[in-house]
Amino acid sequence: MKHVLITGGTGLIGSQLCKQLLDQHYQVTVLSRNPKTVAQKCGPQINGITSLSEIRDDDVINVVINLAGEPIADQLWSKNRKKQLEKSRVDLTYELVEWMIKRQHKPECLISGSAMGWYGDGGDGLLTEQSKYHDEYTHQLCDAWEKQASHAEQAGIRVCLVRTGLVLAAKGGFIQKMLLPFKMGVGGRLGNGDQFMPWIHLTDMVNLVIFLLEDSRAHGVFNGCSPQPVTNKKFTAALAKQLHRVAFIPVPAWLLKCLLGEMSRLLLTGQNAIPEKAQALGFHFVYTDVTLALANILPTHK
């Protein structure tokens, strides 16, 4: 039985991942600031710890999955908030990798989270894992995050970096923040709506992480997104149709910029990204059509 250590295990992706790993007979430990919530969110069989020092050196950890990070869109990007975002990603990953390297029995694999923000504003050009980036804050944050994780390769540890898109889930995630205005009939596109939204269903996201964990050929960067990204305009139309609502009140770009400042770029820019590497290795997506994905996570409203 392989032993998996997860950071960020009580989050949207992590909690579902824990349950699926248990179903597949993995032993799971979750590093969390609130270990009392681990059993509730992830399962009673999972051990919650608050510090890496609680793991003895003779305890074999086969795989580390690093999903920790403060939510990037919950607060405006003040200087203090940026420091929190960086500490929860870059600093934590540094500490985690240092701990892995120093262990007597080093993990075989590190799967570390990143985000589509690494590419910055990708415009409408097709993006694969080989594509270049637009230099802005989201790239700088994700790049520093990825570089810390990549240091584990120096100790012979296989590293996979997953640049996650917008995760569609029945409970939690960005979709929940969009539901209220749409249900009230005041939903609409953001800006001109031409920006791409690289999305992925939670089922596919969890399956992808386990696929990378189990396939020794997998290493380097992987785009964690559906093979069929859509523009904000098309996503808005699909969401409105699923909710049986209209979507005729766009939110102008100037208003988002006034309200959100630099963080408005999360909403007004995007990435036309595809998961080229995962598909080349043989990973199959359950949900490739955004309409079917939304139908799966949202009940029919009339």
Classify residue 281 by its DSSP letter.
T
Q: What is the pLDDT along the chain (302 residues), one digit of tens a residue?
A: 899 999 999 999 999 999 999 999 999 999 998 878 898 888 888 999 999 999 998 899 999 999 999 999 899 999 999 999 999 999 999 999 999 999 999 999 999 999 999 999 999 999 999 999 999 999 999 999 999 999 999 999 999 999 999 999 998 888 888 887 787 776 889 999 999 999 999 999 999 999 999 999 999 999 999 999 999 999 999 999 998 888 778 888 998 899 899 999 999 999 999 999 999 999 999 999 999 999 999 976 54
Q: Identify the pLDDT of residue 300.
A: 64
- Residues near 177 by Cβ (< 8 Å), separated by ≥ 6? none
Q: Identify the pLDDT of residue 250.
A: 85
Instruction: Please state the pTM of the whole predicted model.
Output: 0.94
Superfamily classification of domain 62-297: NAD(P)-binding Rossmann-like Domain (3.40.50.720)
Q: Measured between alpha carbons, how far is 266 from 243 in angstroms, rounded to an integer? A: 24
Burial of 254 from C-beta contacts in 10 A (0-12 / 13-18 / 19+): exposed
The per-residue pLDDT for range 151-201, each reduced to its tens digit, is: 999 999 999 999 999 999 998 888 888 887 787 776 889 999 999 999 999
The per-residue pLDDT for range 56-91, each reduced to its tens digit, is: 988 999 999 999 999 998 999 999 999 999 999 999
Q: Identify the pLDDT of residue 172.
A: 83
Structural domain spans, the chain: 62-297
- Evaluate whether 224 touches 298 at the Cβ level (below 8 Å): no
